[in-house]
Structure 1
Amino acid sequence: MNSIYEKALNFKNKYSSTVAFRIKKHSKVALNHLDQGETVEYVFVGQKNDKHIQMPNTFVFALTNKRMLLSKKRVFFGYLFYAITPDMLNDVKVKANIFWGKIIIDTVKELVTISNLSKRSLDEIETAITKYMIEKKNFIV
Structure 2
Amino acid sequence: MNQDIYLGAKEFKKKYPKTIAFRLKAHAKVASKFVDNGEKVKYVFVAQKNFKSYEICNTNIVVLTDKRLVVATKRLLFGYFYRVITPDMFNDLTIKTNIIWGKVIIDTIKEKIILSNIDPNALPEIEENVSNVMMEEKKKYIQRESEVKE
TM range (shorter): over 0.9
Pairwise CA distance, 1:6: 0.2
Amino acid in the other structure paired with 2:5: I
Q: Is the 8 A contact 2:87 2:135 kept in 1?
A: no
Instruction: Name the structure where helix makes up a greater proportion of residues.
Output: 2
After superposition, residues 1-141 of structure 1 pair within 5 angstroms as: 2-138=3-139
1:99 alignment partner, SS class:
coil
Question: Number of matched residues?
Answer: 139
| RMSD across aligned positions (CA) | 1.1
Deviations 1:33-91 (A, max 9, x none): 11231111100000011110111000000011111101111111111111111110011
Q: TM-score, normalised by structure 2?
A: 0.89
Structure 1, gaps ≥5 residues long: none
Please list every run of at least 4 consecutive aligned residues from structure 1 whose deviation after the TM superposition is greater than 6 angstroms: none
The percent identity for this pair of structures is 48
Point out the structure with max Rg over C-alpha: 2
Task: State the one-letter code of the partner of 2:68.
Answer: R
* Partner Cα distance (2:131, 2:35) in 1: 22
Query: How many Å apart are 1:138 and its aligned residue?
Result: 1.3
In the alignment, structure 2 segments of 5+ residues that lack a partner are 141-150
